[in-house]
Amino acid sequence: MMKPYRQVPIQECGEPLVAIPLRLFAVETPHPYIKCGADYEGKSPYYLRQGVLDRLIQAQERLQVLHPDWRIQIFDAYRPVEVQEYMVNYTFEQTVAQRNLDLAKLSDIETNVIMADVYQIWAIPSFDLETPPPHSTGAAIDITLVDELGKIVNMGSPIDEMSDRSLPEYFANSQDSLAQQAHHHRQLLDRIMTHAGFIRHPGEWWHFSIGDQLWAWLNNQSDLQHPIPAYYGRAI
């Protein structure tokens, strides 16, 4: 499966991964994927490229102008390809179980259908330096918002949910009050991140990036005559 953004060339800028100052943000402890059994080999998952972190801090500052006691909650940031691979396999097995199927008796057709669904949410865990998963570049981040009580605000669906509710505009035309609230919060999240230079994943309300292949591809859709390369490749 070749997603179109993976064809964007990378001109690596060499910027380092740096630790996210977690005192500025909200985080879930333990990390969600560590709870699922992912092995970060003793390293913190809360790392980003320096320029990405600088922009994330700008987004946090913008949020606090609009909602002084709210914070960005970081769900996931840098993700080694090994963790990406683990989570793809984990999600596949969980999906098989949820659909009441027997993992040992799956047909090729059933396997392909489930993997296609998994890859709607998860990037391919490629070790090829020309096609790194977005999170493995240190340029992508999964986030939500928490209010003045530290409670996650209504976003309409959880991060990583494999359904149409993950689409950013899913609730845009709903007349339900809770759905309208969720859409408003998604718009707020997108607004503060866009203000800082990020672009949102078209299929995931929680995923934002800057400088990676997906970011470049989305930028290039509005100016096909002057395409730009990615400047963050796989962080090693």
Residue 44: domain span: 4-220
189, part of any domain:
yes
pLDDT of residue 63: 98
Least confident of 102-111, 144-153, 191-200: 102-111
106 CB-contact burial (10 Å; exposed 0-12 / middle 13-18 / buried 19+): middle
Q: What is the pLDDT of residue 180?
A: 98
* pLDDT tens profile 24-70: 999 999 999 999 999 998 888 999 999 999 999 999 999 999 999 99
| Of 218, 42, 31, nearest in space to 142 by CA | 31
Crossing angle (nearest 10°) for helices 177-195 and 50-66: 130
Q: Confirm whether 199 is domain-assigned.
A: yes
Would you say residue 10 lies in a domain? yes
Q: Which of 12, 28, 82, 204 is catalytic?
A: 204
Sequence-distant (6+) residues with CB within 8 A of 30 are: none
Work out the number of other CB atoms within 10 angstroms of the CB of residue 228: 15
Q: What is the mean pLDDT of the chain?
A: 95
pLDDT at 189 over 90: yes
Residue 235 lies in a domain: no
229 occurs within a structural domain: no
Q: Would the pLDDT of 142 be above 90?
A: yes
Number of domain units in the chain: 1
What mean pLDDT comes out for the span 177-198? Answer: 98
143 part of a folded domain = yes
For residue 204, indicate whether it is catalytic.
yes
CA pseudo-torsion sign 13, 84, 151, 193: positive
